[in-house]
Structure 1
């Protein structure tokens, strides 16, 4: 993959002066990282938090993977790293050559001739380029065509360069097909004039979610020599429309260009989730200049300059070239979402399906909260506080316009995917970081409503569907027959939902106490211990002999048991995408209580050792590919650490919270071997930047502790030096001069602002004040030194 690393180096651009790098340096990004082995990233172009993305479509449900043999088209909407099917790829565009007409290469008498699976182009990875804001690939079909894409926030451009000698080139705009499993349920298109088209595409979406519409407008840099529309009856030369089609019906437009004056055809496009006028406004605002479409090179320059400004806000020294490419690609992936939802005029489509206006701020959409509340949310708050404020405001707008807080917000509806109560730790952390300043009361009222109730039946939101049992009995019942509004619902995963609720309650208790709601705080602190209600001290893991694990309970309070056998803590029943082995650690709010339930701290640490296969990964970090990673979706029937998924992402820091911080470092360095500079360089789905954010925190030497605590746990950094830009020109510096590429080093001592720091965390306020965090590293751990005393460790909140 060294060739890919070289291809990922971004062209030189004018840059700001920064303390830790030469003015001419770029931050290398390889957008192919994560495009294989279910990382589900996309290699094409997007702006930071962009509304529109232009990337290839292949056989994979998420859009494209590196090993796909053909490219069906270049879609204009993608999510990075999502695991559900039915996502993205709307407005699939492919350049082709050949004759379009009866009996031709594209036979207008046969609707099947315009199936993207049939006309998909072969391509080569040779010369392929994937950079932040720019993508290039050579199609080897149709005489050889070079395709390039770039994107700004709300508009994008693609350039198709046909082979020399090609007299006519065509561009197929397929609006009846999208990604492999993203079903188009309705579409409309119209050829406006000799250069422009517009239309709309309504699709199903995301693990059985609702329908939504994408409006688009596209303008070309040269006139059409010919055009036509295809539908379920065949092709219609010269047709302008408007043309409409229903579900799964062939539909699209072909545009033909006379190439005698130049072999390159450029299209500039914009989309909107509001209406057709929104797409027009976005195109004028970002895709046009002097009433003409922006040139491809001009947009590319803007796009890549924007990305370099984003990437330069974090600067690292040390490590190998691959280390730095992996780091900056992780930063790139973490800054792709949530997506901009408001058009250039501020309008957006709310959860009430009405049109609203965001005046002076940006409305965001696509909130993968079950994933992002654990790492990506905190990263954005640290690096992009102004965006964090708008994100928090967007979530509150979802509540006020849609009637309830979201779980997994997709476009302008709640998909209801995943379980637990992720919006509470998500929003409480944003409150703790100051992103809700001036809206604290409104936010608390919304969060309290969610924590103490359930949405009305008529509201699409699922909320805490397990609250009736949880509030009465202290646990969410395990009931696979419980009626769901979407694919997932909490009682289907009662044990893990109980633990997620308890964690959310601990976070909300902090907010309640700070805002003066003492009675609520007391109740929530008590509920934060409800993880104990699903802890069965009598469960035995037969292979290890360990006793005591979380276990689902049924409605009457009895423990769940499989028919004809003992309960197995390695089974997935009652747990969402995991097992009791993985979820047992989801108690960061009550680490002493958890250790006691396991028989004391020593026994809890021994259990962690077995969970991580510590001796094996200490001897050889590469052992993780045998001990931990069975497959991209190895959530079930496992008893080891699962770095591919969210429920145990925090588990390495349980060592730190129990007084063995050097083991956190051992585990982190081993886990980081799963992130590499190649298509398989993301472990499991990247989940809208969550895994990438986890990697960034791991490499920097910081990780967010319990939601609402404001604490960031410390560990040995991967890089010798890092700088993070903060508001008002402040800089957070992290120094670890003994850090060496490929070598594991442990924390001997820590200084903050030039003074010794014995405790294992810094508070949010300390980070925001900026300064220098200095690590002294050593090849061998000091098992009685830094971070090993009880006074060095955080204490649970009072009342727990």
Structure 2
């Protein structure tokens, strides 16, 4: 490993991690929270996959780690040494070599089979490429506006020649997960004049192959593409970020931005450990995406143009995923940015009339189910990101929690509310009409659990803001999981599971806890743990703490895990990224049970949390398949960052971080305030398990298996906070943001790990149980 990779977090990132096996990350250039990117496009539905045989072009917009097909690839540019016979990127795509390929924050490089070297960098609103052609070759560049990634339908496009260096136009493409078409405006300028140009498919029109080719007298050629969702003026204005600067200057500026962002956390790690950690942090900091142009204008959810004056409007919210870990990590590391995120979500409400669930550009896709926006905003409030906006936010949240958007609204909201408010559950109804990708009654049981968790979190905010009546009602609704708890259902020797109910209140027949009916992307086995707001009540329904712990042992295959952690998680936990059903074990590939390892701590066995978390970390490796499941706009990566640091936000609205054994001997979180959170592990510390390679971020071709050889389990023997013994298994948000020093004493003997096992060591519950 080079000295830079040991000390520079930018050099420690490998952007190819997650670009295989449906991790769905993109390897190309971006800046933190950037609107535009520059990354290769292949045949994979997410834009590109590490083993794609050909590169079809370099697109300028992508989502990182999402699961649906429509993830960008817009305004595709490909350099060539000649014009193709057919202007179809499925036919003119070119082979490439992973040898010498580089993927680092703000920079990408690859050599095409044509002999052309392509380098990419970016600013917030532009993607930039430098094309170096073979000696003697005539430089051509194809700008394709009629095709994007393989599953991104383009229904309309246009391209025009502005001058002998500049092209401009539009791409109308399908929004994520079956949303409506939307339009992206672009301006592409080159650093030298082209001597010839031509069009294919016409200058503008509907669906079909369309684009512009340009020919240069000589190379190399640098292309700068700015995008906007507002209008052509916005795209042209956004070019100001790159215009007049060389490629190398832009690359240096991009990597300086990344050095600041990634430098917010320091870890004592080397080799693959260091690469995996900083790449996870990199993926966290890619989104949400900047939504306003350089002049502050953005297109709102009323399809009108608005201006963010003195703040940044952010867009693309995968809330069902990000409310669980990503939101809290961003709020901790970048509170000023979190304030703009909160303000942006409230702008969606103001302009669209309702709060979003999966907001894509300026529309609601109604993807996923439940009520993720409530814990998302409540946690932002709890972390101080809604100061001055509390009443406005609460009014939007209580509307969302008690009403249903009208039929004419693009939002579904909590469409299960009529049954939920009257009967305590969302009915299971496969035939319930939907406005978009999903609807709550199609997954009534899991929607009920999500609503209840959201209501419990909102009750905390209501109480703090003086809404006593609301707080009581919401707190009571937080127990609605009990309405679906059926003590008569048994599986694998355990009795009692959440079970869907039909509209008439009858249980769904037939039913198995391993089946899919009533649960979204999971089963009753995974969703039974989505009751972190009332652990005492859940434990009672499971037959007491001993039986609850035994159920967790079966869920995690704990005995096997202790014997062989890496093998167990891959053979007994992990299934395909979209194989959600017929499962009775922990699924680390998806969100519903991400918090489940910490349920061990909440039922009085914290040492097992540390073992399970450490085993799960083996799924994150320095290889293209190094992310488990879809990264889901940084959610899985945020889970890894928290797990490595030694604390995790388990219960929305509480501001509580539950502690466990950290991965590294030392880590420092540099807060925006100038204060630090220092985390150290004394005693038998787990050091880096592998030395890694010098080729950090340089096209790692091998697939990772366990990534670190023998996995060393360590348990918490004791904790000090600020030099004082800390027996409680959690710390509050306030204890961290004021600056904190956490010291863990670790042991390899679980028999010595008695820390946090007394009844009073667990966080207080909103409910008394029973």
| Equivalent residues of 1:171, 1:255 under 8 A apart | yes
Give per-residue Cα distances to partners, 1:76-124, cap 9 Å, x unaligned.
10000000112200101111112x4xxxxx33xxxxx000000000001
Q: In the TM superposition, what is the alpha-carbon distance from 1:51 to its structure 2 partner?
A: 0.3
TM-score calculated relative to the size of structure 1: 0.92
Pick aligned residue for 1:160 from 116, 131, 134? 131
The answer to whether residue 159 in structure 2 is matched with residue 189 in structure 1 is: yes
Return the alpha-carbon distance in structure 2 between the equivalents of residues 744 and 549 of structure 1. 31
Q: Which residue of 2 aligns with 1:45?
A: 29
Between the aligned partners of 1:508 and 1:670, the Cα distance in structure 2 is 33
Confirm whether residue 251 of structure 1 aligns to residue 210 of structure 2. yes
What is the DSSP-based 3-state SS (H/G/I as helix, E as strand, rest coil) of the residue aligned with 1:448?
helix
Judged with a 3 Å threshold, the aligned counterparts in structure 2 of structure 1 residues 784 and 677 are, in CA distance, closer, same or farther, namely: closer
1:271 aligns with 2:271: no
Residues in 2 aligned to 1:669 and 1:314: alpha-carbon distance in whole angstroms: 20
Matched, 1:732 2:670: no
Cross-structure match for 1:239 = none
The alignment status of 1:547 with 2:495, answered yes or no, reads: yes
Match of 1:764 in 2: 733
Corresponding residue to 1:139 among 100, 108, 112:
112
Q: 1:661 to 1:27 in 2, by over 3 A?
A: farther
CA contact (8 A) 2:291 2:315 kept: yes
Residue aligning to 1:616: 560
Query: Does the Cα contact within 8 Å between 1:526 and 1:799 map onto a contact in 2?
Result: no
Alignment of 1:601-750 (within 5 A): 601-622=545-566, 623-737=568-682, 738-740=684-686, 741-742=688-689, 743-750=712-719
DSSP-derived class of the 1:121 partner:
coil
**Pair 1:27–1:70, CA change in 2 (3 A):** closer
**1:4-19 mapped onto 2 (5 Å cutoff):** none
Q: After superposition, where does 1:123-134 map in structure 2 within 5 Å?
A: 123-134=96-107
Structure 1 residue 798, shift from structure 2 partner: 4.9
Q: Is 1:313 matched up with 2:258? A: no
Question: What is the deviation of 1:782?
Answer: 3.7
Does residue 122 of structure 2 align to residue 151 of structure 1? yes
Matches of 1:406 and 1:312, distance apart in 2? 32
Please, which of 231, 246, 256 is the counterpart of residue 295 of structure 1?
246
Who is 1:411 aligned against?
A: 361
Evaluate the alpha carbon distance shift between residue 637 and residue 25 of structure 1 in structure 2; reply closer, same or farther with a 3 A threshold: closer
Q: Which residue of 2 aligns with 1:94?
A: 78
1:379 and 2:329 aligned: yes
Distance 2:527 2:32 in 1: 33
Supply the distance in 2 between the matched residues of 1:799 and 1:246 (Cα, whole angstroms). Answer: 61
Local SS of the residue matching 2:673:
helix
- Quote the residue 2:701 is aligned against: none
| CA distance in structure 1 between the aligned counterparts of 2:127 and 2:96, rounded to whole angstroms | 22
Q: Which runs of 5+ in 2 are unaligned?
A: 690-711
Q: Does structure 1 retain, via aligned residues, the 8 Å contact 2:10–2:258?
A: no
Q: 1:25: Cα distance to partner? A: 7.0
Corresponding residue number in structure 1 for 2:696: none
Deviations 1:466-489 (A, max 9, x none): 000000000000001000000100
Task: Find the residue that maps to 1:513 and give its secondary structure.
Answer: helix
Distance (Å, rounded) in 2 between the aligned partners of 1:178 and 1:575: 33
2: distance between equivalents of 1:441 and 1:618? 49
Q: Distance in 2 between matches of 1:79 and 1:25?
A: 23
User: Contact 1:52/1:155 (CA < 8 Å) preserved in 2?
Assistant: yes
CA distance in 1, matches of 2:665, 2:494: 40
Q: CA deviation at 1:245?
A: 1.7
Paired position in structure 2 for 1:590: 534
State the Cα distance separating 1:288 from its structure 2 match: 1.4
User: 2 CA distance for matches of 1:618 and 1:368?
Assistant: 34
The aligned runs of 1:191-210 (5 Å cut-off) are 191-210=161-180
Partners of 2:747 and 2:753 within 8 A in 1: no
Q: Could you state the TM-score of these two structures normalised by the residue count of structure 2? A: 0.95
Structure 2 CA distance for aligned equivalents of residues 25 and 459 of structure 1: 45
Give CA deviations for 1:543-577 in whole Å, capped at 9, x if unaligned: x1221111110000000013xxxx21100110000
Asked if 1:475 corresponds to 2:425, the answer is: yes
SS of structure 2 residue aligned to 1:539: strand
Counterpart selection for 1:753 from 722, 742, 747: 722
List structure 1 runs of 4+ shifted beyond 6 angstroms: none
Between the two structures, name the one with larger relative contact order (CA 8 Å, sep ≥ 6): 2
CA shift for structure 1 position 45? 0.5
Partner of 2:705: none
Q: What is the CA–CA distance in structure 2 between the aligned matches of 1:616 and 1:558, rounded to whole Å?
A: 39
Structure 2 residue 400 is matched with structure 1 residue 450: yes
Residue in 2 that maps onto 1:235: none
Distance change (3 Å), C-alpha of 1:701 and 1:716 = same
Task: Give how far 1:188 is off.
Answer: 1.0
- Say whether the 8 Å CA contact 1:10–1:29 is kept in structure 2: no
Name the structure 1 match of 2:708: none
Decide whether the 8 Å contact of 2:716 with 2:753 is kept in 1: no
Query: What is the CA–CA distance in structure 2 between the aligned matches of 1:86 and 1:730, rounded to whole Å?
Result: 41
Cα separation, 2, equivalents of 1:412 and 1:205: 10
Would the aligned equivalents of 2:326 and 2:638 in 1 still touch at CA under 8 Å?
yes
* Whole-angstrom CA distance in 1 between matches of 2:43 and 2:144: 16
Q: How far 1:164 sits from its partner (Å)? A: 1.3
1:778 counterpart = 2:747 = yes
CA distance in 2, matches of 1:79, 1:621: 32
**CA displacement 1:449-481 (0-9 Å, x = unmatched):** 000010111110110010000000000000010
Secondary structure, aligned partner of 2:447:
helix
Contact preservation (8 Å) 1:748, 1:782:
no
The alignment partner of 1:336 has SS state of coil
